[in-house]
A and B are shown apart, each in its own frame.
Chain A
Amino acid sequence: MNRVECRRLEERIEALLDGELADAEQAALVRHIGSCEKCAAVRAGAKRLHAALAAEKRPEPLRPVWAAVGDRFDRAIGPRASTAFRLAATFAAAAGIILGLFIGSLTGPSAAGNEGTWSDIGSTLGAESGTSLDEIYLSGFDGESS
C-alpha cells in the first residue's frame, strides 16, 4: 500500500474512469489499483455510482416544447425578418389601433377589453401583429353585436 498513490487515486478516480488523464498517469494509477485493495474498492464504488446514474429514468417533457415556442417565435426573433413585410405589418398594426380606437369610441367600455393586445402591438410591432389585428376586429364586432 502506497499512501501517496492512494490519495492521488482518491483525487482523480473520476478523471481516470472518464478517460481524462494523460496516458502515463492513467497507467500508473491502474497499476496501483492492481496492487491495492482499498483503491480497487474505491474504483468499484465509483463504477457502481456511474451505473446507478445511468439507470436513472430520463424525465420527459410534459408537452411538446415547440407548441409554446412556435407561438412566440416571431416575437422572439424580433424585427427585420423581412423589411418589407415588417413595414406592412407595422402599417397594418397602426391602422388597426386607429380603427380599434375609433370602434372603441363608438361602442364605449364594451370594446375596451383588449388593452393587453394593444400594448402588445405597441411593444413588438412584429410579424405577429396580423393575429392581434384580427383580435381587434373580432372584439370590435363582438362589442357591437352584443
Chain B
Amino acid sequence: MTDDELMERIARGDAGAARILVERWERPVFAFVERMVGSREEAQDLSQEVFLRVCASARRYDRKGRFRSWLFRIAGNLARTSLRRRKILRWVPFRPEIHDRKGGGARPDDGVEREEERSRVRAALERLPARQRQAVLLRRFEEMSYREIASTMKISVAAVESLLQRAMKALRAELSGNGEAG
C-alpha cells in the first residue's frame, strides 16, 4: 500500500493504517530528528510528535506522491522549533550527553543507550547552522534530489545548492584541518 493510500485510511480513522505508516517511516524520521537536535530522548519525543501531527493532518493531506517531502517538512520544522526553544545558538554545539541526563536519576536503559563517542564528522555536522544541517541530512542520508529538498524546505533549488555548498565546504575543512592533529 502506498503512503498516500495509507493517509486516506488514516483520514477515515484507521489506526491499523497509521501503525503501518509509522513503522514504515519511524527509523528514517528518528535518525533525521536525532541528527538535527543531537539528543536521543528528545528525538524520541519529537518523532512521536511528528507522527501525531501526520495523523492529525490526514484529512487535509493533499500532497499526493510527495508524502516523504511533507513528512520531512513536519519533522524539520519540529526539530528547528525545538532547537530554538532551547535557545541553542547556531555555533554552539549541542551536548546530548549533558542534556539527556539533566533530568537526574539513571534511566533503566542508561547503559545500553549511552551516547557513543561522536566521530569528528558527526561533531562538525552538529556545529552547522540548523538549515545547513537540515539540507545535508536530507541530501546525504535521505538521498533526496535538490528539487525534493527544495520542496521539503520551501526554498528554491538554487538556495538548496547554496546551503549544501556552504555546509559541505565547512565539513570538508573540518575533516582535513583536524586530520593530522587528531
User: Which residue of the partner chain, among A11, A60, A69, contacts B30 with CB atoms under 8 Å?
Assistant: A60
Contact A72 B52 (CB under 8 A): yes
Instruction: Give the A-B pair count, Cβ closer than 8 A.
Output: 117
Query: Assuming the A-B contacts A48-B175, A49-B172, A69-B55, are A62 and B40 also in contact, with contact meaning beta carbons closer than 8 angstroms in the complex?
Result: yes
Binds B, one of A12-20, A87-95, A101-109: A12-20
Contact A69 B52 (CB under 8 A): yes
User: Which residues of chain B have C-beta atoms less than 8 A from A38's C-beta?
Assistant: none
A45 to B169, CA, bound (A): 10
Closest to A48 in B: B175
Binds B, one of A50-58, A112-120, A136-144: A50-58
> Does A34 sit within 8 A of B, measured CB to CB?
no
What 1/0 flags go to A39-82 for Cβ under 8 Å of B?
00000011011101110101111111110111011101110011
A28 to B137, CA, bound (A): 29
How many interface residues does A have (CB within 8 Å)?
37
How many interface residues does B have (CB within 8 Å)?
48
Contact residues, B17-65 vs A (CB, 8 A): 18-19, 22-23, 26-27, 29-31, 34-35, 40-41, 43-44, 47-48, 51-53, 55-56, 58
User: Which residue of the partner chain, among B15, B34, B44, B122, contacts A73 with CB atoms under 8 Å?
Assistant: B15
User: Which residues of chain A have C-beta atoms less than 8 A from B11's C-beta?
Assistant: 77
A46 to B113, CA, bound (A): 32
Binds A, one of B66-74, B83-91, B160-168: B160-168
Contact B168 A46 (CB under 8 A): yes
Contact A81 B172 (CB under 8 A): no
A127 to B13, CA, bound (A): 10
Query: Assuming the A-B contacts A53-B140, A77-B10, are A61 and B146 also in contact, with contact meaning beta carbons closer than 8 angstroms in the complex?
Result: no
A58 to B44, CA, bound (A): 14
Contact A59 B52 (CB under 8 A): no
Contact A70 B31 (CB under 8 A): no
